[in-house]
Amino acid sequence: MQRRDNPYTPGAGRRPPTLAGRDDDLNDFSSLVEVLSSGGAERSLVYYGLRGVGKTVLLMELDILASEQGWATTDVQEVGSQADFRSTFAQMASRLLREMSRRHRLRDRIERALGVVKAFSLLAPGGVQLKLDVEAVRGVADSGDPEQDLVDLLREIGQTARAAGSGALFVVDEMHNLAASSLAAVCMAFQAMSRDALPVAMVGAGLPDLQVRLMKAKPYADRLFEYRELGRLADASARMALVKPAATLGVDLDEDVALEVVRLSAGYPYFLQEYGRELWNAAEGPRITMADLAEVGDLVRDQLARTFYGTRFDLASDAEQRYLAAMASLGAPPYASAAVARAWGAESQRQTSPHRDSLIQKGLVWSPRRGYVDFTVPRFADYLLEHQPIRGFDER
């Protein structure tokens, strides 16, 4: 068993050798593309879940699927926390058009659509960052009203795609980073796409509060998109994610090892990959046994502490780190913000609410309901209790 053959893929957005437990998602999405291609209506998809559950890699897979079915796709585009959404959408739009022009002979149609993209992007704060060798079209997507302009832009893309007998897929990751006004514009635009029965779809993904954020932005967002939660894998899928990549290379995991890793990882895809990688590296082969698992247990925990948790903990300021530790000290989630403030040592909640907001902004914490917070990273509380207990902060 050579290290260089190690098939496991712990990390962010690394395509796993076996995409376990997503067959239904792939099948459903494939029919969505078919329905839209033939002029039907189908709701776009929004996935939500904690960090490390496989949102990004699923998006990558759906992107590939759509392009195999002849659609133009944007590739997975991550929404940056500061960038204005108009630059993001302008970039995606020009990418879609470039793909269409490669596959279809619609020179004039695409040229005009690029002119619309240009008009749209000129209004994004900071002006054009796009190199588009066309004149901006006047009177479309240039009203200055972001909602209306995004509708115009997507309609242009949709009509071009329809003329090409194709479709267009927007793939938007970390979508919770979009401001409420941008989410509202996205809702408006996709509402218009379905009204006009245009072959344009979106797959979005983000942290668990994405659905609520969308609904706050536009009340009808609950019916506009189909929402799916991604969480831990069911036991059979988790086992498959662990066992199959090795088996494909002629290495068998003992059944008791598989069962124990499924238990230890609680079915979280990222944890499964981390165990898989260390087991592979430690084992002599050609079997992976309980003795190997005993050997790597600490290694995996260290690895998780340093990479998965440590790097995220380091994103927080001192006061925010104390806030995280205070959350973890409270027992079972979700945590009442008022109780966190007390555990933090604050005299009032007002003192800690900027820290809470900033942690939400940084994507470390989310609010499952008003007045409550929880971690966006699975098992963060266990890590904090062990490595960063709240009492340690008083000694600093």
Ligand X SMILES: Nc1ncnc2c1ncn2[C@@H]1O[C@H](COP(=O)(O)OP(=O)(O)O)[C@@H](O)[C@H]1O
Looking up tokens 């555990």 gives: 343
For Mg ion, the binding residue among 9, 18, 44, 56 (CB under 5 A) is 56
For ligand X, the binding residue among 273, 329, 352, 376 (CB under 6 A) is 273
Closer residue to ligand X (CB): 71 or 268: 268
Residue 77 within binding range of Mg ion, rule CB under 5 A = no
For ligand X, the binding residue among 25, 36, 46, 51 (CB under 6 A) is 51
Residue 21 within binding range of ligand X, rule CB under 6 A = yes
- Tell me the residue number closest to ligand X, measured at CB: 54
For ligand X, the binding residue among 1, 7, 20, 193 (CB under 6 A) is 20
Which of positions 161-180 make contact with ligand X (CB under 6 A)? none
> Which phi and psi (to 5°) does residue 74 adopt?
-90, -5
Beta strands in 176-253 (DSSP E): 200-206, 225-229, 252-253
Residue 16 within binding range of ligand X, rule CB under 6 A = yes
Chain centroid to CA 310: how far?
20
Residues sharing a CB contact under 8 Å with residue 32, sequence separation 6 or more, in sequence order: 42, 45, 201
Give which of Mg ion, ligand X, none residue 52 binds (C-beta under 5 to 8 Å, depending on kind).
Answer: ligand X
C-beta neighbour count of 38 within 10 angstroms: 8
Residues sharing a CB contact under 8 Å with residue 301, sequence separation 6 or more, in sequence order: none
Looking up tokens 């509402």 gives: 191
**For the chain, how many helices (H) and strands (E)?**
18, 10
Beta strands in 179-336 (DSSP E): 200-206, 225-229, 252-253, 287-288, 335-336
For ligand X, the binding residue among 1, 7, 19, 202 (CB under 6 A) is 19
Residue 57 within binding range of ligand X, rule CB under 6 A = yes
Q: From 29-37, 53-61, 241-249, 362-370, give the range in contact with Mg ion by CB under 5 A.
A: 53-61
CB of 75 to Mg ion, least distance (A): 14
Give which of ligand X, Mg ion, none residue 14 binds (C-beta under 5 to 8 Å, depending on kind).
Answer: ligand X
Rounded to whole angstroms, the maximal C-alpha distance in the chain is 70
Closer residue to ligand X (CB): 190 or 270: 270
Residue 376 within binding range of Mg ion, rule CB under 5 A = no
* Rounded distance between C-alpha atoms, residue 373 and residue 381, angstroms: 12
**Site residues (vs Mg ion, CB under 5 A):** 55-56
**Site residues (vs ligand X, CB under 6 A):** 9-14, 16, 18-22, 49, 51-57, 241, 269-270, 273
